[in-house]
Structure 1
């Protein structure tokens, strides 16, 4: 196509998950409910971690930061999506779209790095329990989380800057519920080879590098657990990892399916469904996954709830 036939997009139209009018209200109720549960559940974990003394440990420090990343992750997408459901225009500005891309990638990368850090925490706790307080000091934990934030923002900045080099045709309709990389590249009139190459090289290194670190950590953990003589001891040690492994499986499974494939084979319809899993469902489930299998969190929550209940009766 000639360059003179291209137009400079000032805004995009987000078509959302469904264009059928009869599905808009159920979708609004569904996603609003999941968003409220996500924000409330993750805020409770953050609040309990801060206010409960015996939760001032590296594991809960990392978990509270994961909860913060989950809130930011969904807040980048869902509020705008809910507004667009009942909007006639369903538009987002070009600048707003790039900002959404940046913060979405940033929080996704943050979750990726934090899951790797949490795997290291479990490795030290199980494989080197007597050295746990010495190795994972407050300073080291703060440095690791700060590194996660810095790396995630550099990762997001790289992909956002690459998006700014693309031109877009007169058709500015995005068949998605937010500004994601592949749906944007699908409607671009520019050559997206560099963007795709970076996603499948730098992106693979970032995502698969963290995943490989998690796998190696758990290989060492499993080896150590198998050496525990009692069945009860083995189960107790492994149960501390179950929640983390569940989140890792859901997060990396859906993320890999969406992004680490050729752009030509990317299906917007299927991509929307899978994207909902790691952008909405997984952040909503994280508080339940971690709290239902965690006696310390459940105990802290019961004490907190009892304080609220009794203070309300006075």
Structure 2
């Protein structure tokens, strides 16, 4: 947006000497409300875009009753109700959001399931809501570089390579990926290898567990994991829930088929069944395994390029700017009528 001539100011709640953002000081939420309110009054912003529940509430409350308030656009990146299955401390944010979110001038959702939940759960009108594709392929310089190395006919002596990019935490369920690999080996009799690209608290238990017949490789966190993963790898996402899942789009852009569960909800915007990967119909090991083996026959190719373009920085930035302009115009019209 800066490249298009817009003036953009970033605010953070934690000071960082190496950051180009402005700091909103305060030891607790109320102090930060007063701090942000003061900065908004001085700077005369057209629009505030808040990223995440804490900032959503901070932006809405700090601009209330200002004489000439900016338009406040909030955002959602997770499935909030489903997240309570994983994080039980979310209830306070959700309780406040049900009262405050409908007072925002706009809502940016990372996926259609996230948008549907926000309308049903927080009472946000659909005419103030936009689903903006995440710029998930921004760090991939060239798309589909590996599809030519994959074939639809899989030899029995070819090792089944499964890549699992992401944090090794309980919510990502990395042990389920190992169980799926074991089941695939039982079905096919093929050598099977699991590659973990990430780190986290679950790594120790994974290393300590026994996985007969399965080779497990821990690569640690590698941001550009798609450059070092085996060329015939199937990307497996075993998260209990996702607001979107960038890694599924990254996989398609890099030529890797992927697998996720339909029950992870937000993944449906990040995968095209039959073209970029497969959706397991449930969370069972058997359904995941069937989807992994079916995904081996998939070769993401040039047919998905128009879809991939939606997740470029250029396309995402353009759609975001249009949404912010419309939210500001709508807020101005409403203010003139009141």
* TM-score, normalised relative to structure 2: 0.27
* Greater strand proportion: 2
Higher helix share: 1
TM-score by structure 1 length? 0.28
* Greater relative contact order structure (CA < 8 Å, 6+ sep): 1
